[in-house]
Structure 1
Amino acid sequence: MNQLTGSLYDAIEPERIEQVLPPSRERRRLRAYILLLCVDAALIHLCFALAAFAYEGVWWTERTMLAAQAMLPVFMTIALYNKTYSGTALREWTFAVRQALTALAVSAALINFLAFYTKSNAEFSRGSVTLGLILTAIALVAVRRLATVFVERYWGGATVNQLIIDDGGVPFTLPRATTISAQRYGLDATSRDPFMLDRLGKLLRYQEKVIVSCPRERHAAWSFLLKSAGVNGEIASEPIADLGALGINSYEGANNTTLVVSRGPLGLRSRVAKRLFDLVVAGVALVVLSPLLLFVALRIKLEDGGSILFVQRRLGRGNQFFDMYKFRSMRPGKLDADGAKSTARNDDRVTKIGAFMRRTSIDELPQLLNVLKGEMSIVGPRPHALGSRANDKYFWEVDAQYWARHCLKPGLTGLAQVRGHRGATVQEKDLTDRLQSDLEYVAGWSLRRDLEIVLATVSVLNHDRAY
């Protein structure tokens, strides 16, 4: 286990990694989007009310406000899909104005079309509605201009985190991006050392775009790492075929051309949907299962007086380490912190209550806490311990694609598990079967599939390979 001593990890203090890069700007943008949504909804109502007062002398007339309330959900739907609420709209006010006015015009046309065919035009005041639309358009333009001024003044014009990794390639600069040296942080693209990958994962954790400038011979290695990290990754220009490039980007300045080699597996809406699903399922499960959890905890304590939980370092999203919780199923003196030895049938390390828990998968339930903390998901590739092996090889030595499974959060259950790929990994095929399922899940994620996997998990909780 000398390969896993952690010396590389300890050489770079985690504090230095946390200090060099700004915190995530994603939550800040989400708050800005929600605020803009609320402001737009209020402005549409206010502008139509003012139009009614100016045109008819009556504040908030029913027939004018009916038009505003009918148009609002249509406007919001179109605006959400045409990027009226996006990072680009926060940075570039001309783009923001164009998208907002487009959403307003299309929604007004749709409502007018509907009113014509339902013969309800007479219920609207044409003068008040027209004036309301004009006032709304002026208000939307003003708000977009103020929003970009605010972003420039208080956010320094940066709405996304962009990182440039200098690994000895051509000079590359980008406004408002952070540049770090690969050498300074011990980043070796050709290494598959898990401690180096954990360090890289921490550096990329809050980055929404990562650009690597490196010599040609390291392009393929960096391309693989960026894909495995699940980030929007680019390589300073090289042949597309060699890197599996997805597109080309050009930036201001000489030689500032990159090839897009990776995109995060899930967009913002998908990540929000998956996170909400995780929180709802984990929260409900903890409440419903709390009597069982308390009973199991008491049985573990009464059997040998040892700790209730077993905390083990596992590989998570972006190949970062995290501490995973399980109910302790082995005797206190025989715990396997690195996971070097798979549990076998009739394993003498397993306690009596532990054998029952492992057979029924109850020992995994404390990972609901990992889900609430955001370290895991309800569904995803199962997290592995650093010392896990198949045929006496570390998992990443069996198949280099192993690291690619970590572009999503690890799961409490997964596609591999419901297909029966679980238990000890004695042969290399035991790992490759799971890896194939994990990569299939990553490539074809959907919320519906997550729900199907959760339901299918119920039928495989008690499994002949669970010991």
Structure 2
Amino acid sequence: MANPDLAARFHSASGTGALIARRNARLWLCLLLLSADCLALLIGFGVGARLSPASSSDMIGSLSAGILVFAIIAFHSQAYSVSCLTSATISCRAATLAFGATMLLFFLVIFASKAVGTFLRSGILFGVFGSLGLLVVQRSLMAYAVRRCFGNQLFAEILILDGIARPNDCGAAAVIDARQIGLRPEEDDPHKLHQLGVLLRDYDRAIILCPAARRASWAEILKGSNVQGEVVVPEVGETAPLAVGTWLDTSTLVVSRGPLNLADRARKRLLDIALTVPLVIALLPLLLLVAIAIKIDSTGPVFFRQQRIGRGNRLFRIYKFRSMRTDCGDALGSRSTGRSDDRVTRIGRFIRSTSIDELPQLFNVLLGEMSLVGPRPHALGSTADNAYFWQVDRQYWHRHALKPGITGLAQIRGFRGATETRGDILRRIEADLEYLHGWSLARDIGILLRTFNVLVHHKAF
């Protein structure tokens, strides 16, 4: 039996002081963040209190209670987790939710106690918006400063090699060879468990690199190690699983799920209907004028219908105002429209340059085939550098987990027009996947507002 003290000696040699200092740094940073939050609330509501007729003792008591309630709610909502120290988005979101819950309780109390007249409305509004603004600013600055000063060094990682050669790149992780110190995943040997416990005592994350036959044993041992334990399984990377599930008592890898839950889908659909119905009514005279102009300008139907790839990779027919001659039809969309395309009619060139040709897609939105905001649907024959879009990047299919949109994140960033190079479609796919993974109703509204800036675009032809 190997001597468990070998693990202790390695632990000491690997820099126990540095590990403890790293953990203490996280604690002090969290306390600093809490202090900064309290200071932001104190300044915001303190200035607001000067505008209220309440006595100083009343205001001090209310402010102290409010800060205490905020701190409790913030701790409960993980607003002081390590991720909040390094990510401004996560940090501000958690603090905003905690602040909103605190304000809700505050208003319930003052209404229940009939103390509304004690506070001036201007003082309350200044306190709310001032404090929230200070919270967001200081948390964003804190996350930026922590990333600049610590990078990825807030977590202490250890890589344990068990019968596997050392990788070329191990990052900032401490590396040990389990066989050199006699460390084996033996559940029936308390001394071995003690050896591992001593080794991992001051680490936050342990990564095991071992043959497939020993992965289950290591996994069982790590479950009681009080660290984030991970076993490297390279072959799983090919499926990119989201989680582990079960089917008939058999483990499965969850590789996909809808990006929006039922409530999110309902909210997005309500936004579509609430905006599309009045838009169609308001734009009806314009739609009729464009239809008449198209009929006068050239022979053929008013609308152009083409198969596009929609949500769930299902095909649907998109509506657009016809902007090309009917004898130059391209049902699959194999040829991108160029700046001096001879297929485009006189009216077609105008409605394409002003994006008016896209307006009939509002009917696709009403039918539930599209959304106002989402990845743009492409024709089946669309190519970039003589390769179909999905041949350029297989992640192209991932974007169809959402309904296609009339506008989207890629469009407001200027990624539109002909796809002449692979980079043209890669930038759009990247933007679509960013939108898919970071969807929110507020983001949809922001994209809609920014769309007005790109209705007339130098790539719209």
State the TM-score, normalizing by the size of structure 2.
0.49
Q: Who wins on radius of gyration, i.e. which is larger?
A: 2
State the TM-score, normalizing by the size of structure 1.
0.48
